[in-house]
Amino acid sequence: MTIRQKLVLGAPNPWTMLDEAAAIARDRRCVIITGTSFSASVARDFLANHAGLHVEFIEITADLPTADAYDVVWHRACEGETPGVIVAVGGGKVLDLAKLVSLWAGTHQELLLHVRRAEDTPGKIPLLAVPTTFGSGAEATPFSVLYVGGSKKSVDVPRLLPEVAVLDHRFCQSASRNVKIAAGLDAVCQGIESLLSKRRCAESEQLAVRSLMLSCSALPGAIDGDDVAERRMIRAANLAGRAIAITRTAVPHALSYLLSSKYGVPHGLAVATTMSPYLRWLQEQEAAKSTLSSFGHGRPLEKWEGLVSSVDSTLRGRFDELRRLHGAEMVEAVNMERLSNAMVPITPGDLSAMMGGG
């Protein structure tokens, strides 16, 4: 599978890469969708004054990509003339919502109706995605998460893939240490889960292995603000995004959504919560042995736990506590579609044992 997307890599001035947006918009509205952390930054002034761009900002204040948040953004974006381009500057939540709005489908009910009927939406606004965390890889995937009435829906439509992705680590530098840790662990988990997906192929495996080689060496430095490590980490996140664009995610993601939606655990940490017991369980499964050799030289659990401890020595204890407190509920609420994507079939009974014995 070949992803058709223009990838724009670093430039001397990161903001000049948004000339791409001006070229696409051609004097029409440029709607810029951002998170709250972006609004006070110098980037906002730069974009507002960018020659050739009639920019309008829409700020997302919700904690999750919810249907309500989508509707607010949709109504703001569709007021007046149809935008010539949408620029999404943010983490996974911002990119996910902007991708959905770019389908130009209407309210969330109308959007979901189109998806359910597998029919094209009435339009598509070109989307330029600028990740500000080195984690989600959302700039590289044709799917978005949407929480509707507290339950998580995955919208998986080829046209959700942004037309342009801008990768520059300088957009990620203002993120807090905690945001960087959560986002980086999400990227690592996505690389591992892609390797362990039943949809894996030679291309996805190559992307995932390249991603993991970069992320496992670069993540600690990137969290500490090392320039070279940050460059490597944003590439790693993009490669993992491209890998799961082919394979989709699997078990730790399937278990994670309750922790995020009900208990407010950041997505990357929610996913990472179950990676240790999952890898321990896999090490006992004959069918997983050759695949696991692609990560950590056949010792994936040691590799993963070493990485987690190196970014924050308290994290493994926090993950143990989250599983102890919420493990049973997580198994009950597991996303069956994601779970069924696992290369080695796993039952709810296996998951319960994993939670108890992690």
Q: Which residues bind Fe ion (CB under 5 A)?
A: 186
Q: From the CB of 272, what's the least distance to Fe ion, in Å?
A: 10
Pick 77 or 188: Cβ nearer Fe ion: 188
CA atoms in the 13 A half-sphere facing the CB of 268: 24
Q: From the CB of 253, what's the least distance to Fe ion, in Å?
A: 6
CB-CB contact of 197 with 132 (8 Å)? no
Pick 267 or 303: Cβ nearer Fe ion: 267
The beta-carbon contacts of 306-314 under 8 Å, at least 24 apart in sequence, are: 307/188, 307/216, 307/219, 307/220, 308/185, 308/272, 308/276, 310/219, 310/220, 311/181, 311/184, 311/185, 311/219, 311/220, 311/223, 312/181
Pick 108 or 152: Cβ nearer Fe ion: 152
Pick 59 or 96: Cβ nearer Fe ion: 96
Q: From the CB of 141, what's the least distance to Fe ion, in Å?
A: 10
**Can you tell me whether residue 201 is helix, strand or coil?**
coil
Q: H/E element holding 8?
A: strand 6-9
Rg of the chain (C-alpha set): 20
Pick 139 or 186: Cβ nearer Fe ion: 186
Q: From the CB of 56, what's the least distance to Fe ion, in Å?
A: 29
Amino acid at position 28, single letter: R
Q: From the CB of 179, what's the least distance to Fe ion, in Å?
A: 14
How far is CA 19 from each of CA 14, 23, 98, 137, 255, rounded to the nearest angstrom? 10, 6, 19, 22, 40
d(CA 224, CA 291): 31
Q: From the CB of 58, what's the least distance to Fe ion, in Å?
A: 24
| Residue number closest to Fe ion, CB atom | 186
Q: From the CB of 24, what's the least distance to Fe ion, in Å?
A: 28
Pick 53 or 339: Cβ nearer Fe ion: 339
**141 phi and psi angles, rounded to 5 deg:** -120, 150
Pick 18 or 250: Cβ nearer Fe ion: 250
